[in-house]
Structure formats: C-alpha cells, structure tokens
Amino acid sequence: MWAYYKSEKSPDASILDAAIRATQIAVDLEQEQDDHAQLQFDLGVRLDARSDLTGSLEDLERTISAFQSAVELTPDGDPTQIIRLNRLGNALIERFHRIGDVDELDAAITACCCAVEFAPDADPVKPALLSNYGASLQTRFERLGELEDIESAISILRRADDLVSDKHPDKPQCSNNLGNALKSRYRTTGELDDLQEAISSHRRAVEL
C-alpha cells in the first residue's frame, strides 16, 4: 500500500473547526497577494486535516479549491510553491480515490510532477516528492493498465530510494514503495527479475 506524504497530523475536531473559521475570515479580509496565498494554503491544510478526520467530501472539495488558489497566487520561483503543489497533488489523488474520476488523477500527476521539477535534488523533501509522483503514476497504471506509467513510476521511485541514505528515517518507506511498484509490474509482465528485485527491496525495508 502506498504512503502518500503529508506534513501535519489531524488535531481535535473542535480545534480544527475554530481554526478553519478563523482562517476563512482572514482569507476573506486579506488583499495582499503573498499573504493571501499563504492564508489559502493554511486554509487548505486545515480543511484537509478535517476531511481526513471526518471523511467529508465537501471539506476535500474546499481543500482542493484553497490549494489551487494558493498555487495560482504563488509567484514562479517561490520556494513555497513546491510544498503547495505537492499538497494539491495529494488532495487530488484523494478525490480520485473517493469519486473515481481519472481526470482528477491526471491533474494530481501534473501537480506532483511540477513539484518534483521545481525541487533541487539537495532539497530534503525531494525523496518524498518523488515518492508521491511515483505513487500517482502507479495508481494510474493500476487503473488504466498503461505500461508506460509503471515504467516511469519505477524509474522515479528508484531516484527517491537512491537519494535517501540508509540511516534516513524515510529509507524503509522508499524501499518498500519501490518494491510495491516492481511487484505491480511483475504481475503484468511476469518478469522474474522484477519479482526478485521487489523481494530485495522489501527485505531492505524490513532490515533498516
């Protein structure tokens, strides 16, 4: 099972409700573009947390709208664009899982791809971005069966695994994700090399 990377845990519902109301008021009052982009992003993060907590599709729709506004208002080259695109991609993937519309998945892949392209390899979040991008491609492969998607997913997940040292806490997850993608391709092609490498990746994830 894929682990999509998110940056916040869901707090108590009553705290979230109050935070969302306060942030929405701030969004409605703020006119400066930079501050408005950050407020939209903050609103999206809190709505996303409440959607995770309650399963509300309405909150998820509002999450995506807020993240889209934040991305649109963020100037090119702004370093905050990376995490905003990544969170947008995650939310679109979640909506795909809820409603099954492949257009949502295509949009998620585009957002995740842009986040990866904007982040230098030295950025500590790059492996997580690559993992999300690879996961979204594997999801589309498992829905549509296009071999090109799983080929790209495996290549991307290798990059994520290579960027993370064995001592990094995310290394087991990166190795596990790569193993899952290799198993997915093996189930389609029957290539034993994929199965053997998948087993090695899962073993490495357990041993680290």
CATH code, 195:
1.25.40
Q: What is the pLDDT along the chain (208 residues), one digit of tens a residue?
A: 344 445 455 567 888 899 999 999 999 997 777 689 999 999 999 999 999 999 999 999 999 999 999 999 999 889 999 999 999 999 999 999 999 999 999 999 999 999 999 999 899 999 999 999 999 999 999 999 999 999 999 999 999 999 999 988 999 999 999 999 999 999 999 999 999 999 999 999 999 7
- One domain, residues 129 and 155: yes
Residue 111 sits in which domain range?
Answer: 9-118
Query: Would residue 3 count as lying in a domain?
Result: no
- One domain, residues 18 and 112: yes
pTM above 0.85, yes or no: yes
CATH code, 88:
1.25.40.10
DSSP assignment of the chain equals ------S-----HHHHHHHHHHHHHHHHH---HHHHHHHHHHHHHHHHHHHHHH--HHHHHHHHHHHHHHHHHSPTT-THHHHHHHHHHHHHHHHHHHH--HHHHHHHHHHHHHHHHHS-TTSTTHHHHHHHHHHHHHHHHHHH--HHHHHHHHHHHHHHHHHS-TTSTTHHHHHHHHHHHHHHHHHHH--HHHHHHHHHHHHHHHH-
Query: Would residue 20 count as lying in a domain?
Result: yes
- One domain, residues 130 and 93: no
